[in-house]
Amino acid sequence: MPVTSRTFRSGNSDAVRLPKEITFGPGVEVEIERKGDVVTISPKRLSTKAKLESLRSLPKPSSIGKRDPFIAPKRPGL
């Protein structure tokens, strides 16, 4: 469902207020892309390098559990 807002001047830039129905929340970095008359605003995605660094910073598990082997049931006709 579309939501309506208006542009306004903020310093030397045009700005638009995002109504609460479609807000990203405070402090979220966004990417803005324009194709003709369509402007798309989306949250900025982390780079692959940043994702890997984030995963590497997680604490290592103290132990690794072992699963029982899975035995698939026999299914006729497959």
Range of the domain at 37: 28-54
Given a contact cutoff of 8 angstroms between Cβ atoms, the answer to whether 18 and 6 are in contact is: no
- Residue 60, domain member (yes or no): no
pLDDT (mean) for 67-73: 92
**If you average pLDDT over residues 41-58, what whole number do you get?**
92
Residue 40 lies in a domain: yes
Mean predicted lDDT score pLDDT of the chain: 91
- Give the residue-averaged pLDDT of 48-66: 92
The total of structural domains in the chain comes to 1
Q: Please, which pLDDT band fits residue 38 given cuts at 50, 70 and 90?
A: very high
pTM: 0.53
Tell me, yes or no, whether 10 lies in a domain. Answer: no
State the pLDDT at residue 78: 75
